Amino acid sequence: MSQPSAPKTFNAEEADNLEDIEKQFAVKVVQHMQTYWSILERVKGSSLRLTRMDDDIYEHLKRDFPEFDPAETIDEDQMKSKEGKERWRNFMMVYEKKVDDYNFGTMMRSNPKWEYGREETIFVPRMQFYAVEIARNRAGLNDWVYEQAQKEKASSS
């Protein structure tokens, strides 16, 4: 009986560009973005829970990022700097086995006063999205989305 050959190691530099996988990934990212916005239009952010661990995530964010102000525009360069990536990686790894898709790419608005748009979004891991949006929701910074949607609904009736 022959021994099974060892699996080849994956080399990203030599991998084919799998366009279908990229398209599926992009579709999932856009669906998540649209779903979240749709939820904010139906439920005040201040009364919304994003995970079963919102309280823990929020307290952890305040502990590890005491300088974070959810009302301010996020500095993407600072967030994605070597130090920023290291801090966020340490934060996120706590949730590796606790939060589904904790590391899946997601679009996040860089400021809670803005809608999603080409210049107003940052591509981040899901755990960063959860941490920031939980903080924004706790501060009532996303409630305007619901209020605006309700006004539009009332005026179109």
The domain ranges of the chain are 24-156
* pLDDT exceeds cutoff 60 at 89: yes
| DSSP symbols for 53-110 | THHHHHHHHHHH-TT--TTSPP-HHHHTSHHHHHHHHHHHHTTTTTSTTTTSEEEEES
- Amino acid, res. 35: T
Give the percent of the chain with pLDDT over 70: 89
Quote the CATH superfamily of domain 24-156: yst0336 like domain (1.10.3560.10)
Q: What is the DSSP letter of 122?
A: E
Which tokens in the block code for residue 69? 């102000």
Quote the Cα angle for 58-147-123, to 5°: 50
pLDDT confidence tier of residue 116, bands split at 50, 70 and 90: very high
Q: Is the pLDDT of residue 157 over 80?
A: no
- Please name the residue that has the structure tokens 């964010």: 61
